[in-house]
Chain A
Amino acid sequence: MSALRKSSPLAVTGKYLALGFYIAFALFPLYWLVKIAITPDKLIFTEGTALFPSEFTFENFQTVLIATDFLSYFKNSVIVSVGTAAITTAIAAAAGYAFSRFAFRGKRVIIALMLITQMFPLLMIIAPIYKIVAAVGLLNSLTSLIIVYTAFNIPFATFLMQSFFDGIPKDLEEAGMIDGCTRFEALRKIILPLTLPGLGATLGFVFTAAWSELLFALMLINSNDTMTFPVGLLTFVSKFSVDWGQMMAAGVLALVPSCLFFIFIQRYLVQGLTSGAVKG
C-alpha cells in the first residue's frame, strides 16, 4: 500500500514544492542580507528591489572590519555568549539531572518557580534589573550581561536538559553502579557521554539567545568598549542616514559564529546516541 502511494508522482511533486516554498520563505531574509552587503552603496537605492545587483563589491566588509569598532563588538559578544552558554549549560545540566533522577522535597515548588520566571515580559523587569546592576557597580561590564543572561536562560535550559536525561534509561546507571561505579562515576562515564547531544543543543540554544540579545545589552552597556555586537549594529544608524551596506556586512559576519557552532554540533543533534542501549 505505502509503496503504491509513494510512487504517485503528483504527491512527490507536491511534497517537494511545499518543501521548496518553505525553504525559500525561510532563507529569503538571509539572501537579502547578503545581497545588500555586497551591493555597492550607490546602487542600494537606485536598483531598489532587483533580485541581483548589477555590480558586486566587498568594500562594505572591508570598511566594517577596518574602519569601525566591529571587531571589538564581535569580541565582546563572543565573550558574553560563550560565557553565558558555558555557565548556563553547566548549571542546567546539574539541575536537569537532579530533576530527572531524584525525588526531593520542594521539587515541584522549584519547578513552578522556574516556570513563573518565564512568564514575565522582559520589559517589565528592566527597571529593577537596572537598579540592581547599578547598585552592585556592574554597569557597562560584560559580567553584568553574563549574569543576567545566565539567570534568564537557566529555567528553559534546565527543562531541556531534564528531557535529555529523562531519555536515558535509568537501567544504564543502575547497571553501572552494580558494575562498581559510584553514582558520580556512573554519571561521568555512562550518562555524560550519552548526554553530549543534549549538552550540544543546550549550548547552541543559549549561545544563540545571548548572541542576539539586544534589550538588556542596550540598557546595561553605554561605553563603546563593552558594546556587544547587536548594540554595535545600531551605531551604523546615525542621525541623518543609515549605512545599510555596512550594517548588512556586519550582520553577515555576525552570522558566521552561529553557523560554525551549529555545523560543529549538528552531528550530535542528529545522531541518536542512545540507540542500542535497551531492547531491540
Chain B
Amino acid sequence: MARIELRNIAKAYGSVEVMRDINLTIDDGEFIVLVGPSGCGKSTLLRMIAGLEPISGGDFTVDGKRMNEVPPRDRDMAMVFQSYALYPHMDVARNMGFSLEIRKAANDVRVSKVQEAARTLGLSKLTERLPKQLSGGQRQRVAMGRAIVRDPSAFLFDEPLSNLDAALRVEMRLEIARLHQRLKATMIYVTHDQVEALTLADRIVVLNAGDIQQVGTPLELYDTPANKFVAQFIGSPTMNILDIEPKDGRLSLKNGASLGLGLTNAQVGARELGVRPEHLNIVGPEEAHISGTAELVEHLGSDTNIHANVPGIGQVLVREHGHFALKSGDPVGIALDLEKAHLFDADGRRLAA
C-alpha cells in the first residue's frame, strides 16, 4: 500500500527538457490511468516512478519518503511491461517466483505464493511451460502473475494490453479491474486507449507534450474537460469543434446560423464551440440549428453515426441511438444540445458559464 506523490517532477535529456512541473498525488489504493497520444511522456513518467529512468528534478515520494535516487529493486513496485518481458529461459512458475527467488524467500513460501497466483489467473496447468509455448493472452497473465506474487506496494502497467487482439483485450481489461478490486493496491496504468482509461480508472491523468492537461474522474473529464485537447481526446467518436462568432453577446456559428444562446461575461472570448456527436440530433427543419446533407451513414446496430456536410461549417458528426433510417445524400437538419456544449477560447481553454 502506498501513497505516491510527484512534486515538480522534471525530465530532461541533456539540455532538452521534455517534462516540467509534473504535480500529482496518488492515494493509497487508487487506480490512476496516465493517458495521452504517443510521445506525450506517459511512459517516461511511469518509468521514472519505477526507477528505470532517472528523475531530472523535483521530488518523488512514497508514503512521505523521498525515493528519487532509490534503485528500482528497492522501490517495492511491480511492473507489467507492454512486451511482457518474460524470462524466456525460465518456466512459468520460475518466472512468477523470480522476485522471491532473488530475495531469497523460503522455498515453500515461494511455491505456495506462485501456486496461488497461478490459480487466480487460471495458469495452474501451465506452470511448467516456457514462455514460447504460451499464447499472447497467457503470457500476459504470467506477466501479471509475476507482479501479484510480489505483493508490491504499487503496480505499474505500461500499456499491458496493446499487443493483444480486441476480444482478449476486453477480457484482460476486466481481469485487471477485478484484480484491483480484490487487492485494493495502488495501481498506475499507462495507455493511449481512452476506453481502457475510462473503464479502469478511479482518476485519469491526461498528458500532452510533457504537460498534465487535466486530472479527474472519467466522468469529470467527459463532462467538464479543462481544454479542447482533453475534450477531443476523451470520448469516442471525437467531439465536434465548430468555429463561432459571438455577435452582440449572442452565439452564432461561422456560417451565420444563430444558436440563440447568450454569452456570460466570462465567455465573451469564446472562439470555438465543442459538441459531442451524441449531443447532436437529427431533427426536422423547423427545430434545426444547422442543416446540410448526410455524406456517410454508418450503421453500428446500437448506434448510427451520421457524417453530415454543413455548408459554411464543414464536417459534423452526429450520433443517434439505435437504428436510424437515413442514407447518404439525404438532407438533414441538426439540433445542438447547447446545455452539454462547451466553449473554448483562442488558447483552447474551456470557458465555464
Chain A residues whose CB sits within 8 angstroms of the CB of B329 once the complex forms: none
In the complex formed, the residue of A with least CB distance to B78 is A178
Question: Contacting A178 at CB < 8 Å: which of B50, B133, B135?
Answer: B50
Stretch at the interface among A10-18, A52-60, A136-144, A167-175: A167-175
Bound Cα distance from A276 to B139, whole angstroms: 9
Among the interface residues A169, A177, A180, A273, which one has the most CB atoms of the partner chain B within 10 A? A180
Asked if A280 is at the interface (CB within 8 A of a chain B CB), the reply is yes
Whether A280 contacts B139 by the Cβ 8 Å rule is yes
Interface readout for A256-280 with B: 1 if CB under 8 Å, 0 if not? 0000000000000000011111111
Whether B134 contacts A175 by the Cβ 8 Å rule is no
Which of A165-219 touch B at CB < 8 Å? 169, 171-172, 174-182, 185, 189-190, 193-194
Chain A residues whose CB sits within 8 angstroms of the CB of B77 once the complex forms: 178
Chain B residues whose CB sits within 8 angstroms of the CB of A190 once the complex forms: 87
Among the interface residues A190, A277, A280, which one has the most CB atoms of the partner chain B within 10 A? A280
Q: A174-B85, A185-B102 are in contact. Are A277 and B131 (CB under 8 A)?
A: yes
Q: How far is the CB of A206 from chain B (nearest CB, A)?
A: 25
Whether B163 contacts A280 by the Cβ 8 Å rule is yes
In the complex formed, the residue of B with least CB distance to A179 is B99
Chain B residues whose CB sits within 8 angstroms of the CB of A180 once the complex forms: 73, 99, 102-103
Question: Contacting B163 at CB < 8 Å: which of A176, A178, A279?
Answer: A279
Residues of B within 8 Å of A, CB-based: how many?
33
Whether B146 contacts A179 by the Cβ 8 Å rule is yes
Whether A179 contacts B102 by the Cβ 8 Å rule is yes
Whether B83 contacts A194 by the Cβ 8 Å rule is no
Bound Cα distance from A189 to B88, whole angstroms: 12
Q: A178-B78, A185-B102 are in contact. Are A280 and B88 (CB under 8 A)?
A: no
Bound Cα distance from A279 to B87, whole angstroms: 12
Among the interface residues B87, B99, B103, which one has the most CB atoms of the partner chain A within 10 A? B87
Whether B103 contacts A175 by the Cβ 8 Å rule is no
Whether A177 contacts B131 by the Cβ 8 Å rule is no
Which of B117-139 touch A at CB < 8 Å? 130-136, 139
Asked if B222 is at the interface (CB within 8 A of a chain A CB), the reply is no
Q: How far is the CB of B11 from chain A (nearest CB, A)?
A: 16
Whether A280 contacts B135 by the Cβ 8 Å rule is yes
Asked if B52 is at the interface (CB within 8 A of a chain A CB), the reply is yes
In the complex formed, the residue of A with least CB distance to B146 is A179
Whether A278 contacts B84 by the Cβ 8 Å rule is yes
Bound Cα distance from A278 to B85, whole angstroms: 5
Asked if B285 is at the interface (CB within 8 A of a chain A CB), the reply is no
Whether A179 contacts B73 by the Cβ 8 Å rule is yes
Asked if B55 is at the interface (CB within 8 A of a chain A CB), the reply is no
Interface residues of B (CB under 8 A from A): 50-52, 71-73, 75, 77-79, 81, 83-89, 98-99, 102-103, 130-136, 139, 146, 150, 163
26 A-B residue pairs with Cβ-Cβ distance under 8 Å, sorted by A, are: A171-B81, A174-B50, A174-B79, A174-B81, A175-B87, A177-B72, A178-B73, A179-B73, A179-B102, A179-B150, A180-B99, A181-B73, A181-B102, A185-B102, A273-B88, A276-B133, A277-B83, A277-B84, A277-B85, A277-B131, A278-B84, A278-B85, A279-B136, A279-B163, A280-B136, A280-B163
